[in-house]
Amino acid sequence: MLNEKTIAIIQSTVPVLEKHGLDITKRFYTLLFSKTPELLNLFNHANQSQGRQQTALANAVYAAAKHIDKLETILPVVKQIAHKHRSLGVRAEHYPIVGQNLLQAIQDVLGDAASEEILQAWGEAYGVIAGVFIEVEAGMYQDTEQKEGGWADFRAFRVERKEKESDVITSFYLVPQDGEAIASYLPGQYVSVKVEIPGEEHTHIRQYSLSDVPGKPYYRISVKREEASASKIAGKVSMYLHEQVKPGDILRLSAPAGDFTLNLEDTRPAVFISGGVGLTPLVSMIETLASTNSGREAIFIHAAENGAIHALKQQIEELAGRSAQISAHWCYREPTTEDRERNAFHKEGYIDLAWLKEIIPVKDAAFYFCGPVPFMKAVYGYLKEWGIPAADIHYEFFGPAGDLDAE
C-alpha cells in the first residue's frame, strides 16, 4: 500500500494531469512504440491516429491520481479495461515496459516540474495500480481458460458463411476449426478478431460484439464496412473482412469478453437504443430476453440513415411480431423513397427526448445504448434530462472509453 506522503504527492499532481495529461500520453505512446514496436501488434492503429487511445489513457491516469487514496472507487473501470486487455492478450510482463515509458513521458513533458520526488511517487503508485490490473486480469485468464469450451489467447475459427445484412453491414458466422465446443457468453459481450492482412507489417486486432443469442454452435459478428471519408481513414480490418475474407477462411478469435451485459435478474422493462452498427450487442440482448420467455417488456429503438443501411431489422421485427411484450421503433435521418412508400420507419430526423417519452411507457426501466460517440452523448443527455438514475443507464463505447459528460 502507498504511504500518506506518496498519496499526497500523487494528488498534488492532479491539476497538472488535467492540463497536460493528453500531452503525456501522446509522448508515452511515441516512446512505447519506438522502443517496443512489437506492441503495435496489440493496438488499434486507427485509434492511435485519431487520438482516441491517448485520450482514454489520459482519462484513466487522471482518475487513478484523483482516487489514489481509494482505488476501489475505480475498480469498475479497471475491470472494463481488464476485459479489453484479456481479449487482446496483454500479459503481466507488459506492465513494467508500460511503467518505464509512462514515467519517462511524465519527465519529458513536465521537465523540471517533474521532480525526483514526484517521479518516485508515481513509480510507486504505478506499481500498485499495475498490481491491481495484473491480479484482475490473471483471474480473467484463468476463468476463461477453465470455462467449458473456453481457451486462452487466440483460437482458430472458420468462416462458415457470410450474410449481407445491409448495404454496409455483413454478418460472419464463425465455427471452431477444431470442431470442439465453444464458450458461452453473456449477451452484450464481444470477441477480439486477430488478422494478418497481406502487405501489412503488423497484425491487427479488433473487437466485435457478438450479435446473436448465446448457446449456439457458432459465434456471429456483424461488421460495418468502414470506408474512408473526409473525416476518417478506412477501417483496415473491416474492409479486409468485407472484401477479402470468404467462407472457409480462418480467423483467430479471443474468448468472449466485456462487462456491457444484460442483467437478466432485473424484471423491469429493458430499453435498447442504438445508432448504426451499435445495435449489434443490443440485438444479442433482446434476442436473449425473447428466448427466456420471461414476459419482461422490451423496447428496441434504432436510428439509421435509411432502410438500406439498417441491418438486422427483420430479425427484430419478427421478435416484436411474436411477442406483445416487445416493440420496435425506427428513426431514419434521410429515409429513401422506398422507405416512405413502405412506411418502413416511425420517425424522420434524429432521436429526441420528446419522442423517447412517447414510446417508452415508464421511466422505471433499465436503459442500454450503443452507437457513434455523438449519438451516445445525445442519448445520455436525454436520459439525464429525463431524470433516469445513473444506475439504470448502461452503455458501451466501440473502441477506447470516452467521457459522455465531456463537451
Question: How does pLDDT run across 211-224, given as a tens digit for each residue?
Answer: 999 999 999 999 99
What the block records as the C-alpha cell of 36 is 517496443
Average pLDDT across the chain, whole number: 92
**375/275 Cα distance (integer angstroms):** 7
Which of 16-30, 131-145, 243-257, 390-404 bottoms out in mean pLDDT, i.e. has the lowest? 390-404
407 is catalytic: no
pLDDT band at 52, cuts 50/70/90? low
Who wins on pLDDT, 40 or 398? 40
Percent of the chain with pLDDT over 70: 96
Strand 347-348 with 250-253, pairing: unpaired
The contacts of residue 360 (CB under 8 Å, 6+ apart) are: 269, 271, 299
DSSP of 235-287 = -HHHHHHHHT--TT-EEEEPPPB-S----TT--S-EEEEEEGGGGHHHHHHHH
pLDDT band at 356, cuts 50/70/90? very high
Phi, psi of 148, deg, nearest 5 = -55, 125
Residue 404 has pLDDT above 90, yes or no: no
**307/407 Cα distance (integer angstroms):** 31
> Is residue 199 marked as binding?
no
> Is residue 397 marked as binding?
yes
3-class secondary-structure state, position 115: coil
240 is catalytic: no
3-class secondary-structure state, position 221: strand
Which of 16-20, 59-63, 309-313 bottoms out in mean pLDDT, i.e. has the lowest? 59-63
The contacts of residue 118 (CB under 8 Å, 6+ apart) are: 9, 13, 106, 110
Measuring CA to CA, how many Å separate 288 from each of 8, 196, 295? Answer: 48, 33, 12
What the block records as the C-alpha cell of 271 is 430499453
**273/376 Cα distance (integer angstroms):** 9
Phi, psi of 218, deg, nearest 5 = -140, 165
Residue 233 has pLDDT above 60, yes or no: yes
In 3D space, the residue among 51, 151, 149, 60 whose CA is nearest the CA of residue 102 turns out to be: 60
Which of 15-19, 300-304, 338-342, 400-404 bottoms out in mean pLDDT, i.e. has the lowest? 400-404
- The DSSP call for residue 198 is T
| 270-396 belongs to CATH 3.40.50.80 | yes
> Is residue 367 marked as binding?
no
Q: Which CATH number fits domain 4-146: 3.30.428.10, 1.10.490.10, 3.40.47.10, 1.10.3860.10?
A: 1.10.490.10
Classify domain 155-253 at the CATH class level.
mainly beta
pTM of the model: 0.92
3-class secondary-structure state, position 23: helix
Residue 45 has pLDDT above 70, yes or no: no
Query: pLDDT value at position 48?
Result: 62
Which amino acid is residue 288, in one-letter code?
Answer: T
Tell me the pLDDT tens digit for each residue of 257-266.
999 999 999 9
Are both 4-146 and 270-396 of the same fold? no
Q: Where are the domains of the chain?
A: 4-146, 155-253, 270-396
> Is residue 400 marked as binding?
yes
Q: Active site residue: 93, 116, 117, 137, which one?
A: 137
Q: Active site residue: 4, 18, 62, 95, which one?
A: 95
**93/104 Cα distance (integer angstroms):** 18
